[in-house]
Amino acid sequence: MLQVATDPMHQFQVARWIPFEIGGVDLSFTNSAFFMVLGVLLIIGFFAWALSRPQTVPSRKQSLAEIWYGFVAGIVKDVNHDAGKPFVPLIFTIFSFIFVANILGMLPYAFTSTSHIVVTGALAIFTFLLVVVIGVWKNGFGFLKVFVPSGVPWYILWFVVIIEVFSFLSRPLSLGMRLFANMLGGHVALKVFAGFVPQLITGLGILGAGMAAALVMPLVIGVTALEFLVAFLQAYVFAILACVYLNDALHPGGH
């Protein structure tokens, strides 16, 4: 018989599948790592399969790959215009990784690697450092203009600069936190709602089973549908914010 954990936080436990350690650093292959590797292999496999025989008039599988790529390229084009062209592959990689990791997490018994702050935080810190490095590399000291918005009178400028510095430094925090908290919160809510079913049946017997079927099941289906929307939306939000932050590096002081 299959044992099911009723604790809503149980699904986020990281389990070591292949214990592995180098110089006191734990590098075990965990269930989190497995689902990240699986997601990357799925993306590579899908695009290798869909674009195996590219045609001028795309086939169905090829147009699916083209819609996916064109969607991300469209985000970059809308936000960064032509200056963002070199960053399309990067944004595409970030979007696809988060999107596939989120969707994989929706499968029953799968692990959501994006529901851990260490994964989302690493992505966010990478994005933040990339913006700083590109900004300094392209503009030198001119990058500091990102803290000084134009058209602000001098007597409140010093205060605005302080706010801008804090808002700039809180970016990796909010970027990583948003994805992590959305995935965590959604999955906990899903589990709590699903937990109503065994509680009703053990508490009220046949009446409880009827109530679960009539009331709880539609709710759980609705929340699951909403979670699929959130899985896509959070990947989209991460991509669009990465583009907006990159825009600061490309054109500092342009806001």
Partner 1 sequence: MEGLNLIAAGLACVAMAGAGIGVGTIFGNYLSAAIRNPSAAQQQFGNLIFGFAVTEALGIFGFAIALILIYAPPG
Fill in the DSSP letter of residue 170: T
Pick the binder of partner 1 from 48, 78, 137, 228 (CB under 8 A).
Answer: 78
Residues 29-58 within binding reach of partner 1 (CB under 8 A): none
Q: Which is nearer to partner 1, 33 or 131 (CB)?
A: 131
Q: Which is nearer to partner 1, 135 or 176 (CB)?
A: 176
Give the per-residue contact string, 174-213, with partner 1 (x = CB under 8 A; - = no).
Answer: x--xx--xx--x----------------------------
**Residue 198 contacts residue 6 (beta carbons within 8 Å):** yes
Integer distance in angstroms from the first to the last C-alpha of the chain?
A: 60
How many residues bind partner 1 (CB under 8 A)? The answer is 15
> Which span (16-24, 50-58, 202-210, 238-246) binds partner 1, by CB under 8 A?
238-246
Classify residue 86 by burial, with Cβ atoms within 10 Å: 0-12, 13-18, 19+. exposed
Closest CB 2 distance from partner 1, rounded Å: 28
Show Cβ contacts of residue 243 under 8 Å, excluding neighbours closer than 6 positions. Answer: 75, 76, 79, 80, 84, 87, 91
> Which span (29-37, 158-166, 220-228, 236-244) binds partner 1, by CB under 8 A?
236-244
Beta bridge partners, 22, equal 25
**Residue 14 contacts residue 97 (beta carbons within 8 Å):** no
Q: Which is nearer to partner 1, 220 or 237 (CB)?
A: 237
Residues 161-180 within binding reach of partner 1 (CB under 8 A): 174, 177-178
Q: Is 14 in the site for partner 1 (CB under 8 A)?
A: no
Q: Is 226 in the site for partner 1 (CB under 8 A)?
A: no
Q: Is 112 in the site for partner 1 (CB under 8 A)?
A: no
**Residue 143 contacts residue 249 (beta carbons within 8 Å):** yes
Classify residue 205 by burial, with Cβ atoms within 10 Å: 0-12, 13-18, 19+. exposed
Centre a 10 Å sphere on the Cβ of residue 159 and count the other Cβ atoms it contains: 10
Q: Is 134 in the site for partner 1 (CB under 8 A)?
A: no
Q: Is 83 in the site for partner 1 (CB under 8 A)?
A: no
